[in-house]
A and B are shown apart, each in its own frame.
Chain A
Amino acid sequence: MAAPVFAFVLHKDGKADDTAPELAAAARLMRPDAQPVAIVTGADPGLDGVCQELAASYAEVWKFSGDVLAYPNAEIIRNLLLKILPKGCTLLLPHTTFGMDLGPGLAVKMDAAYVPDVTASDGVDGTTLKAVRQEFNGQVSTHLACDISQGAVISVRSGCFPAGASAPVGGKVIDKSTEIGELSARRRFVELLQAEVGDVDITKEDVLVSVGRGIGDKENLPVADDLAKAMGAVVSCSRPVVDAKWLEKSRQVGTSGKTVKPKVYLALGISGSFQHMGGLKGNPFIVAVNKNPKAPIFQMANVGVVADVLEFVPELTEKIKASK
């Protein structure tokens, strides 16, 4: 096989993470000379199913099954990777809380370059990777260049490298569990505390009326409630609304909140930061209402209205009620 380019793939409940095919696509783009290899760790029986699933997009899937890997502890996994990765290789990670935990330290220990949170790439020019990332909370982008010949750990933002519809690769699954050996770390996973479940489960809803800072104040929430009621929808929100304690955390859509897959999503007074949009999956029909015509949400929405939420929404609610 040609040189490998690696991707560390996370999984949950026997299914590979949504980012897995995206990592494969990114890997092919950044290392066209190489074959993508998925690395999967775990301890549960579902691991095999995950590997089979990944074989559709990866040339090889390296499986590491062992009790010490039951929970993905970045400190332990770093030690494993240092054992099994060849020198000077390229490793892709999803830019998630796990990727952020693993990537920087791993890159240093591998003596490799670290390129975090890549949103686009022009591939490589010789051994120089050309990539794009954002700075200043997404207000600007930068072009960067990085020599990856001596090794690179690259983390990739989800939703930026679409998997593309290609025929299944039919990769090989290789069980490398015997190479795990002794793995220790000075950080030990204790337990996972679930976020409190509120009265409503927004992840199960088809239509969401979502409010952001533009709702102005807690007392204006009835404006959104009325619209939701008229539409048969449920109210959700972005992080600032939860931080200000206007709504419970269980209503938050975003990477640090819930992931939702509605059919229709109304974004009222939401600017459209990627942390928020990161919680919106599937391909919902997005309607954005915001008084700032330059709000990033208008890039991502299907339909947009430039208006003050507090003035426009009550009118909309009236009309919807009248049309019933």
Chain B
Amino acid sequence: MEILVCVKRVPDSAENEIEVKPGGADIKRDDLVYSVNEWDNYAVEEAIQIVDRVGGSVTVATIGNEESEEVVRREMAMGAQNGLMLVDPAFEGSDGRGIAAVLAAAVKKGKYDLVLTGAQADDGAAQVGGMLAALLDWPYASLVNLIEVQDKKLRIGREIEGGNQEINEILLPCVLSIQTGINEPRYVGIRGIRKVASVEIPVKNASALGVDTAAVGQAGARVKRLDYFVPPAGAGAEMLEGSTEEITAKLIELLKAKGGLK
């Protein structure tokens, strides 16, 4: 099976405190640590496991610049056979649809049976996978937490509300967005990354992909982000102060009144 996994280099939200620059044009990026988007990492691990079972190869692709290369290399260190960089100044400022358009062009240039994305990334939009599928006119399923390969189709599970699992059958080729927890990604250490340090990763630009630059980038974006801001803190909770004695006494009073103590 030839699998393409789309990955994104994002600020590590667990290890960073995200703050807004004065004026709100962007977040403060100087002290940020970046890594591969967590959902994408699960997708790559899943792809590697599928290929281990049924044969084929995994290609990891990203849209970005030279800094983004490190995440592709890391996923290759994990076990993906191929990497692919999609780089062009025209891509910058793209909205979700623009990103999907570039990826669709890359998919069309290859021969893939399956395309995986992470369910969502740092902007929480969870949109690229679905848009990519629609542009390719391939079937789609989001929030996938189970994949079984069958003949020309997949049996998949989607994580839905209440922790329930929706089982579907989906025909190949298709696009799936992967939810965290589908597997346990293997560890990639510095050594693994050093081993792939000198592997060539092909780079393709807009013309190599046949992408219409008017449809992507800042110009092609329909949803425009105006600024970043932190909402003013609302009234919020009544904070109890004082000694532990005082606080617990007040709390017990309130709990009794609200029916919290039986």
Residues on A facing B (Cβ under 8 Å)? 73-75, 96-98, 100-109, 113-117, 133-137, 139-147, 185-195, 206-207, 231-233, 243, 249, 252, 255-259, 263-264, 266, 285-288, 297-307, 312, 315-316, 319-320, 323
Contact = CB atoms under 8 A, between A and B. Distances in A.
8 contacts: A100-B143, A101-B141, A101-B158, A139-B18, A144-B223, A255-B161, A263-B259, A303-B254
Contacts of A195: 162-165
Contacts of A143: 225-227, 229
B168 A264 contact: no
B151 to A, nearest CB: 15
Ordered nearest first, which 10 A-B pairs have the shortest CB separation? A104-B130, A232-B262, A304-B237, A264-B260, A195-B163, A108-B134, A186-B139, A105-B134, A301-B237, A104-B127
Interface in B127-143: 127-131, 133-135, 138-143
A264 B251 CA distance: 12
B158 A135 contact: no
B237 to A, nearest CB: 4
Interface stretch (B74-82, B118-126, B191-199, B201-209): B118-126
Contact of A231 (B11, B143, B163, B255): B255
Given A100-B119, A312-B248, 6 more contacts: A144-B223, A147-B222, A190-B168, A207-B259, A263-B259, A263-B260
B234 A190 contact: no
B236 A140 contact: no
A106 B97 CA distance: 12
Interface string B95-136: 011001000000000000000000100111111111101110
B230 interface: yes
B258 interface: yes
B97 to A, nearest CB: 7
Contacts of B122: 135-137
Given A304-B236, A320-B261, A140 B170 contact: no
Contact of B181 (A75, A243, A258): A243
Interface stretch (B50-58, B84-92, B239-247): B239-247
B222 A113 contact: yes
B127 A114 contact: yes
Interface string B143-185: 1000000000001011111111111111100100000010000
Interface residues of B, number: 77
Contacts, number: 244
A302 to B, nearest CB: 6
Given A108-B100, A233-B260, A285-B258, A115 B223 contact: yes
A236 to B, nearest CB: 13
A256 B143 CA distance: 11
A238 B160 CA distance: 16
Contacts of A206: 259
A189 B181 CA distance: 22
Contact of A191 (B167, B174, B251): B167
B248 A319 contact: yes
B252 interface: yes
Contacts of B251: 287, 303, 305, 316
Contacts of A263: 258-260
A75 B142 CA distance: 11
A287 B127 CA distance: 35
Nearest to A110: B134
Interface in B203-232: 222-231
B35 to A, nearest CB: 14
Given A75-B140, A116-B127, A299-B233, A319 B227 contact: no
B92 to A, nearest CB: 17
A117 B227 CA distance: 17
